[in-house]
Structure 1
Amino acid sequence: MNIKKSIVLRVRVAFLVICIFACAIVYKIGVIQIKDGEKWKAISKERRIYYRPVFATRGNIYSDNESIMATSLPFYRVAFDPTIADAKTFNAGIDSLSMLLSRFYGDKSEDYYRRKIKNARHAGRQYIRLNSRQINYQDKKMMAKWPVFRSGKNKGGVIFEKVEKRFKPFGMLAERTIGFINEDKNGAGLEFSFNDNLSGTDGEALFERIAGGSKPIYDGTEVKPQHGYDIKTTIDINLQDVAENALYKALEKTDAEYGTVIMMEVKTGEIKAMANLGKTKGGYIEDYNYAVGSQGRTEPGSTFKLASMMALFEYAPEVNLTDSIDTGNGRYKIKNTYMTDAKINGYGKITVQEVFEKSSNIGVAKLMEKHFGSHQQAYVDYLDKFGMGNTLGFQLDGEARPFIKHPQDRTWYGTTLTSMAIGYETKLSPLQTLALYNAVANNGTKIQPIIVKEIRKADKVVQSFKTRVLVDKVCSDATLKKVRAMLEGVVENGTAKNIKSADYKVAGKTGTARKVKDGKYVREYSTSFAGYFPADNPKYSCIVIIDSPKGVNVYGSDVAAPVFKELADKAYARDLEMHKSLRERVTPNKESLPLVKAGSLDDLSTICNRLGISNHPKNTDEEWVKVQPGRRSLDFVPNPVLDGKVPDVVGLTLRDALFILGNQNLKVNVQGVGKRVEKQSLEAGSTINKVKQITIVLS
């Protein structure tokens, strides 16, 4: 009996405790919901609603003639708030909407989309992404007319999230020079070096965290993004194309490791072409900027002999090009090492001019020993005077620092002077070597190379860049006269006579430097040619580097010089100023109407109105129009863009053409250089079936 009472007592106590605990929970819920309800709602709202950046549109990169080298095109992801539409609108349109989504994306069934949307609406989910695939602007306009969606964002719930993609109309051309920037803000080339200008300033908008993601809240507090500035480069697309093709052929032929070409205008310092190709399993691609960066900084070899001879003539002006030097049998002992010449049995007794033309290592070494043997610091001082030990302050990030030894260095040995004189025990980037050759071509004035001319906002120039003088005069006029004669002699009679031209004179120097591996010089070479043309009135300077070519003929004259010649020939052929042409200058007719062929109706109307040009839309409210010039006015006629049909882009600017064709899911191949489309490969108005590629020709 006592046991029974004990058990009942325990049960009652346990029940009482549970009841008290339950009451406490109910009481706490009541406090939270009623007494502290507003407090917790405010905290919830504060954590649920947050500001998110709205990214600015990235600026364009242009070539010197304003051809687009890189631009951003808009794409969209489609999201949906299924709770916004009222029951009548939702129920009337859900079946048709599901069918259209299934047909458009082609990945899921109509039932799948219907269930996905209905389940989200039933669960009160205010955000679902219908598909991760990005759509273009034309698809966006089409989808905005679908059932439910046609009621808009506030009544229908459709959300078009803008995403921008970087597009390069010329494909891989100048890819490393254009460069890239990743999500961590790391990168290379123009995209990285001018990111602060190109990226603009992001805005921000209020977003609400909801089940499945977040959605924007437009309450008037959003800050619009400030779009990025455009940059205009000095790159000539035609010369860039020639440089890359010529370099690619030479690399393939010799199975070399990498190569680089730089062409620069002598007077302005503007880089007209910069090609960099490195070897991969699939061929050669622009994988690194060897022209500027540390991986391209090497011992220059015989191209450095120009600096040595300049130092010699400055230090000993009595030395003449006709003076004789005995180079012997091609083998010369310096301290405990031997220096050799390329010619078996040597060149014997030759002039100073021939020492340079034949690139005699022994001849240069003997001249250095004779005049600088007891004054080695003087030789290095002249190199410093030429600016060889300083960076150029180039506009692209990552310029390598040159390495020039000094007699105070612990690694300065008894053979260092003669070794440096022929291009060893010192390191320069190709651009730094070219800057010296350009100075000789520019009457002794060493200038800073530039690759960006302007930063723009639309047509307004925000900032312009001009080259600055690095060294007013690298050497005397007497020295300039001597070294110019030697450089011309290399092409006329010396190691580069294989690139001699009947149409114009070339001045330059070949280089073939042995490479170091594991601390020892091996029989692998870095070949080069640096020079300028036309030699009598220099317009362009250029350097070509081809690293580790394979085969029998692996000298600079055989490998690098022909690339220089191909690029120089093309540049000369298209530059009428170098031909001293007598063509008549056409005087423009100021009373004639401007040449306008096609474009956006809003843009064309705005421009014409601001310029005071009479214009008349002819029965059209289309976004895109063709232009029919009258006597005193411009008439705009419809040029509709129809879904599934090839648009007519003839007469449009490249950017407008890319925008329209891209929105039709057409892959665009651009040919030629110019501001407007002259031809298109697919007939306008034809049906877009399996053909997804179109070629447009610029003029």
Structure 2
Amino acid sequence: MNIKKSIVLRVRIVFLLVCLFACAILYKIVQIQVLDGTKWKQISKERRIRYQPVPATRGNIYSDNESILATSLPFYRVAFDPAIAQAETFNTGIDSLAMLLSRFYKDQSPEHYRRKIKNARHAGRRYIRLNSRQINYQEKKMMANWPIFRAGKNKGGVIFEKVEKRFKPFGMLAERTIGFINEDKNGAGLEFSFNGDLAGTDGEALFERIAGGNKPIYDGTEVAPQNGYDIKTTIDINLQDVAENALYKALVEKNADYGCVILMEVKTGEIKAMANLGKTKGGYIEDYNYAVGNQGRTEPGSTFKLASMMALFEHTNLGLADTVDAGDGRYRIKNTTMTDVKIGGYGKISVQDVFEKSSNIGVAKLIQENFGDNQQAFVDYLHKFGLSSTLGFQMDGEARPYIKNTSDKTWYGTTLTSMSIGYEMKLAPLQTLALYNAVANNGVKVQPIIVKEIRRADQVVQTFQTRVLNERIASEETIKKVRTMLEGVIQNGTAKNLRSADYKIAGKTGTARKVKDGKYVRLYSTSFAGYFPADNPKYSCIVIIDSPRGVNVYGGDVAAPVFKEVADKAYARDLAMHQPLRARVVPNKDSLPQVKAGSLEDLSLIMNRIGVSNHSTATNDDEWVRVTPQMRSLKFEPNPVRGGQVPDVTGMTLRDALFILGNQHLKVSVEGTGKRVVKQSVQAGTEINKETKITIVLS
């Protein structure tokens, strides 16, 4: 009996404790929901609502003639606040809206969209993404007139989330030079190096974090983003295309590992072409900037003999007709043997012949005889020529040159002679080219540049002028001697295949053995560096072909022909190099601007600001117009862009054309250079399908 009473007592105690615990929970619920409800709702709202950045539109990258190399085109994702619309607006429009969404996206039935939106409205959700597919600007304008959506974002609940895509009209052309930047702000090329200017300044707006994503709140506190600046490069699209094609053919023919071409204006240092191609499983692509970066920094080989000869002429009274005994083609230095290409050697030859025939022994003997007792003096001349310093190039990633000093632990008894022929040191191709460019420029060494201006629209924010790095790298007499030698290489030496009846070329071939696992192997880095026309230099150029395979793998056989093709094309299209400039035609001040087509708003604004009379038959709903001159005024006529049809973009600027065609989901390719579209491959008004491609021609 006592046991029974004990058990009942324990059960009652447990029951009482459970009841007390339940009451405590109930009290806490009432306290949170009712007594402190306002407080917790406010805290929840503060945590859900926060300021987030609104991305700025990235600036454009232009070529030297203002052809667009990279631009940003706007696209949108469609989201919806189903709870914001009034009941009458929602109920009368939901069926039509669901049907239009189904027809447009073609992925779900109207019932699916209707149920999705209604369920979200009943659940009080303030944000749903209707579809992950991105739409273009024309589609956005069309959707904005759909039921419910037409009431706008504040009364209809439609949310068009802007997404920008980077577009390169010329495809792979100069891809690595243009570069990229990823979400982590890492990248390469101009996009990365000038990101601070191109990116602009992000704005800020309130966003509410809710199920399905972040919904923007437009409460008047938002800060508009400041769009990025545009940059104008020195790149010539035509010459860039020539350089890449010539390089590509040589790489394929010789099954080489990689190659690069740099073409630069002698006086200004402006880079007109910079091509970089590396071998991948799929072929050759612009995978790295070998012209500037560490992976392209190699032992220059015989192209460095120019610096060695300059040091000799600066240090001695040596003349081009003086002689040196190159012997039988073998030269013993300490415990190593240096050889020449010619079997049996060159014997006793002139200094001019030493350079033209690229005699390793001839150069090494001259350097050893004149600098053997003061080896640091030779190194000091290399410093004077600027070969041990970076150029301060505008793009990030310039390799640091490596020039040994006599105090280095790796300076051996053979180092002086090895350096004299381009070994035991490393230079990037651009750094070697800068030396040749200085010789072409009568001893004035200028800094290479690839960006000329930073602009906002037509307003120039910053200009980059030609900067002189060294007023005179060597005496006038030395420059005259080495220029004679460089011309002799083409006339009588290792690059006779470059001779032209139309103009003179000056330059030097290079063939340097590659190092693998600490040993020199039978793979070569071949090169040719020079300038043209030799008597009045306009351009300097360097070509590198790394690890060519097969027969004839020397610089004169592999790299020199690429130089010749680039030089021929540059010479052919630059009339100033081979005939007098035509007299300039004085413009007629009464003539009208050569405007063909464009945005009504932009053209009206521009014409009004410059004082050109204009009138329009277009309405405010007509965004695009064609322009017809009438007497001394311009007439704007509608140029409608209809969904599903190819628009007429002739006469427009490249950017406007890309904007319109991209919004029509057309695959676009660009031919020619210039500021305006003169021809399109698909006739305006043609129905668009998934396979429609269009080519636009610039002039």
**TM-score, structure 1 as length reference:** 0.98
Cα distance change on mapping 1:612 and 1:582 into 2, 3 Å? closer
The match for 2:195 is 195
Q: Write out per-residue CA displacement over residues 173-220 of structure 1, whole angstroms, 9 at most, x where no aligned residue.
A: 100001111111111110111111111111110011122222011111
Question: Structure 1 stretch 2-11 or stretch 591-600: which is displaced more?
Answer: 2-11
Match of 2:455 in 1: 456
> What SS class does the counterpart of residue 82 from structure 1 fall into?
coil
Residue 9 (structure 1) shift: 3.9
Aligned in 2, Cα 1:37/1:241: closer, same or farther, shift over 3 Å? same
Structure 1 residues 646 and 372, CA, compared in 2 at 3 Å: closer, same or farther?
same
Q: Which amino acid aligns with 1:370?
A: E
Distance in 2 of aligned mates of 1:613 and 1:685: 31
1:79-118 mapped onto 2 (5 Å cutoff): 79-118=79-118
Contact 1:125 1:212 in 2 (8 A): no
Partner of 1:419: 418
Please give the alpha-carbon distance, in whole angstroms, between the structure 1 residues aligned to 2:523 and 2:618: 72
Match of 2:26 in 1: 26
Instruction: Write the deviation string for residues 251-283 of structure 1: whole angstroms up to 9, x where unpaired.
Output: 000000000000111110111100000000111
Name the residue aligned to 2:613. Answer: 614
1:289-368 matches, within 5 Å, as 289-316=289-316, 318-368=317-367
CA distance in 2, matches of 1:564, 1:479: 25
Give the superposition deviation at 1:585.
2.2
Q: What corresponds to 1:226 in structure 2?
A: 226
Q: What is the CA distance between 1:4 and its match in structure 2?
A: 5.3
CA distance in 2, matches of 1:271, 1:40: 63
- The AA in structure 2 aligned to 1:642 is R
In the alignment, what sits opposite 2:211?
211
2:674 matches 1:686: no
Per-residue deviation at 1:2?
5.2
3-state secondary structure, aligned to 1:400: coil
Distance 1:402 1:151 in 2: 64
1:378-397 equivalence runs, <5 A: 378-397=377-396
Give the drift of 1:38: 2.4
User: Within 5 A, what are the aligned runs for 1:119-198?
Assistant: 119-198=119-198
The worse-fitting range, judged by mean Cα deviation, of 574-583 and 632-641 is 574-583
Paired residue type of 1:678: V
Q: Distance in 1 between matches of 2:638 and 2:324?
A: 79
CA contact (8 A) 1:620 1:637 kept: no
Is residue 492 of structure 1 aligned with residue 491 of structure 2?
yes
The one-letter code sitting in structure 1 at the alignment partner of 2:355 is F
Work out the CA distance in 2 between the residues paired with 1:75 and 1:582: 46
> Secondary structure at the residue paired with 2:353?
helix
CA-to-partner distance for each residue in 1:565-612, whole Å, 9 max, x for gaps?
111111111111111325332221111111110011111111111111
SS in 2 for 1:523: strand
Report the equivalent of 2:53.
53
Query: Hey, what does 1:271 align to over in structure 2?
Result: 271
| Bigger shift: residues 192-201 or 90-99 | 90-99
Distance 1:245 1:19 in 2: 86
Task: Establish whether residue 672 from structure 1 lines up as the match of residue 685 from structure 2.
Answer: no
- 2:634 counterpart SS class: strand
State the number of aligned residues: 698
* Aligned-residue offset at 1:236: 0.6
Q: CA RMSD in A?
A: 1.3
**Residue of structure 2 in register with 1:530 after alignment:** 529
The separation in 2 between residues aligned to 1:403 and 1:45, in whole angstroms, is 60
CA–CA separation in structure 1 for the residues paired with 2:555 and 2:438: 22
The aligned residue for residue 249 of structure 2 is 249
- What residue in structure 2 maps to residue 410 of structure 1? 409
Q: Residue 470 of structure 1: CA displacement?
A: 1.4
Query: Is the alpha carbon distance of 1:582 and 1:384 closer, same or farther for their aligned partners in structure 2, counting shifts above 3 Å?
Result: closer
Matched residue type, 1:573: A
- Any conservation in 2 of the 1:300–1:511 contact (CA below 8 Å)? yes
In the TM superposition, what is the alpha-carbon distance from 1:619 to its structure 2 partner?
A: 4.6
The SS at the match of 2:59 is coil
Residue 533 of structure 1 deviates from its aligned partner by 0.5
Aligned to 1:466, the other structure's residue is in SS state coil
Matched with 2:580 is 581
When normalised by structure 2's length, the TM-score is: 0.98
Q: Distance in 1 between matches of 2:618 and 2:424?
A: 75
CA contact (8 A) 1:57 1:72 kept: yes
Pairwise CA distance, 1:379? 0.6
Q: Distance in 1 between matches of 2:114 and 2:341?
A: 80
Query: What does residue range 565-576 of structure 1 map to in structure 2 within 5 Å?
Result: 565-576=564-575
Paired residue secondary structure (2:567): helix
Distance 2:87 2:631 in 1: 58
Aligned to 2:476: 477
Q: Tell me the equivalent position of 1:40.
A: 40
8 Å contact from structure 2 (residues 53, 203) kept in 1: yes
Q: Which residue in 2 is equivalent to 1:235?
A: 235
DSSP 3-state at the match of 1:560: helix
Report the residue type matching 1:25 in the other structure. I
Tell me, in whole angstroms, the C-alpha distance in 1 between the residues paired with 2:16 and 2:425. 93
Q: How far apart, CA to CA, are the structure 2 residues paired with 1:480 and 1:254? A: 35
Q: CA deviation at 1:145?
A: 1.3
Contact 2:575 2:581 in 1 (8 A): no
Amino acid at match of 1:265: E
Measure the CA separation in 2 of the matches of 1:614 and 1:583.
33
Partner of residue 517, structure 2: 518
C-alpha distance in 2 between matches for 1:208 and 1:638: 41
- Alpha carbons of 1:368 and 1:37: their partners in 2 closer, same or farther (altered >3 Å)? same
Deviation at 1:43, TM superposition (A): 1.1
- Alpha-carbon shift at residue 556 of structure 1 (Å): 0.4
Classify 1:642/1:323 alpha carbon distance in 2 versus 1 (closer, same or farther; 3 Å): same
Conserved 8 A contact 1:677-1:696: yes
String of CA shifts for 1:298-338, please: whole Å, max 9, x gaps.
0000000000000000000x211011222122112111211
Shift of 1:40: 1.4
Shift of 1:26: 2.5
Report if the CA contact (8 A) 2:618-2:625 is conserved.
Answer: no
Deviation track 1:108-152 (CA, whole Å, cap 9, x = no partner) reads 222222222122112111111111111100111111111221121
Tell me the SS of whatever aligns to 2:675.
Answer: coil
Q: Distance in 2 between matches of 1:161 and 1:155?
A: 17
Residue 3 of structure 1 and its aligned partner are, at CA, apart by 5.3
Which residue of 2 is the match for residue 506 of structure 1? Answer: 505
The alpha-carbon distance between structure 1 residues 582 and 4, as it changes in their structure 2 partners (threshold 3 A), is closer
Residues 290, 296 of structure 1: 8 Å contact kept: yes
Instruction: Tell me, in whole angstroms, the C-alpha distance in 1 between the residues paired with 2:174 and 2:581.
Output: 34
What letter is aligned with 2:371?
Answer: F
Deviations for 1:622-670, whole angstroms, at most 9, x for unmatched residues? 1100001001110011100011111000000000000001111101110
CA shift for structure 1 position 10: 4.0
Unaligned runs of 5+ residues in structure 2 are: none
Aligned mates of 1:445, 1:545 — CA distance in 2: 24
Q: Distance in 2 between matches of 1:291 and 1:211?
A: 50
Per the alignment, in what secondary structure is the counterpart of residue 247 of structure 2? helix
- Structure 1: which 5+ residue stretches go unaligned? none
Contact 1:446 1:471 survives alignment (8 Å): yes
How far apart in 2 are the matches of 1:29 and 1:411? 79
CA shift, 1:93, in A, is 1.9
Output the CA distance in 2 between the equivalents of 1:555 and 1:18.
94
Q: Which amino acid aligns with 1:560?
A: A
SS in 2 for 1:216: strand
CA distance in 1, matches of 2:2, 2:400: 99
Q: Which amino acid aligns with 1:127?
A: Y
Q: 1:545 — aligned with what?
A: 544
Looking at structure 2, the residues matched to 127 and 86 of structure 1 have their Cα atoms a distance apart, in angstroms, of 16
What CA distance in whole angstroms lies between the structure 2 residues aligned with 1:620 and 1:22? 71
SS of residue matched to 1:162: strand
